[in-house]
Amino acid sequence: MESILELRSLFKHYSTHRAVDDVSLAIRRGEFFSLVGPSGCGKTTTLRLIAGFESPTSGEILLDGQPLAGLAPHQRDVCTVFQNYALFPHLTVEQNVAFGLERRGNIPKKRIREEVGDALALVRLLGKESRFPNQISGGERQRVALARSLVIRPKVLLLDEPLSALDAKLRKEMRQELKKLQRSVGIAFLFITHDQEEALSLSDRVAVMNKGKLEQIGAPQELYRCPQSRFVAEFLGEVNWLNGACLRPEAVHVSRELPATAAHSTIGIVESTTFLGNCLHLEARLPDGSYCVAELPQHHCDFAAGETVNLWWQAADEFRIPGSN
């Protein structure tokens, strides 16, 4: 598939610190692509390099096949949704959304009004046109920011932790909405987040970044099931390390009797159980002194601390990380 945005061995150095260290990736047309990593891993710097707020030390950025080097932010056909939205406080919702279209210079006023109306309808904000940003809720501000960027139809929409300023419940709702929105507009999204759950649930593909370097790129399931490094494995979820094999907690079954179908097993002593609402977190100590964590359906609530249990799993659920034992 043809790529809309391509980074070719991108470097960004700040005196002695390598913020972005040899990053190459290609985002496909219409793709929801996430760049995920802990804070300070260089993901926001990468985004700022693409938007043109910073210039790379070396490397190339191609947008739709055209190199972006030397173009100022206002000349680049990408648009950013900022972490705190950066809405213009002195302009109404409608004026905020119209800002980008007005900069195009040759669009008649009537057409701008129509397009702004369409964009506000898309993010379900009709009726709030004449409000100022401080008169609407956090979720609504988020949607104004999306409308303001989408209305100018950028080739790629860059989103810098756009959900991090929202509370947990709203964040989950906006996640669904964001995904639907991306499907309906068909613009490629480059989504920056430190939240692995957000990245896995939203994206077509995810790139995991650490200390300025790309660790792995792939579909969410592939990254989760076959991480190529210990960092990726541990960043995307909890991992049990059992004799060189790795296991996700939900792949570990616990029972008093060992079933005949169990491919691999070990015994363990229940250390603690934690009720998490939709599941039960069980921590067991293994004979070699290491710990194994299992995530069990909530009806398995009857294990007591100190009890000896069988822990077992299927061979297919195991994964191995290259270069580690």
Minimal distance, residue 90 CB to other proteins, in Å: 5
Stretch (H or E) spanning 30: none
Tokens standing for residue 102:
């007005």
Minimal distance, residue 69 CB to other proteins, in Å: 17
| Contact (Cβ atoms closer than 8 angstroms) between residue 149 and residue 188 | no
223: CB partners within 8 A, 6+ apart = 200, 206, 208, 216, 232, 236
Q: Which one of residues 11, 99, 241, 319 is an interface residue with other proteins (CB under 8 A)?
A: 99
The size of the interface with other proteins (CB under 8 A), counted in residues, is 24
Q: Which one of residues 14, 17, 103, 263 is an interface residue with other proteins (CB under 8 A)?
A: 103
Length of the chain: 325
**90 touches other proteins by CB under 8 A:** yes
Minimal distance, residue 29 CB to other proteins, in Å: 21
Question: Phi-psi bin for 70: left (phi > 0), alpha (psi -120 to 50), beta?
Answer: left
Tokens 């210039």 appear where? 55
Residues 135-174: x/- map of binding to other proteins (CB under 8 A)? -------------xx--x----------------------
Closer residue to other proteins, CB minimum distance, 157 or 282: 157
Q: Which one of residues 80, 182, 193, 228 is an interface residue with other proteins (CB under 8 A)?
A: 80
Q: How would you classify the pairing of strands 32-36 and 58-63? A: unpaired
Minimal distance, residue 31 CB to other proteins, in Å: 21
CA distances from 6 to 3, 12, 23, 66 (A): 7, 16, 10, 10
Tokens standing for residue 262:
């169990």
Give me the residues that bind other proteins (CB under 8 A), please: 51-53, 72-74, 78-80, 82-84, 86-90, 99-100, 103-104, 148-149, 152
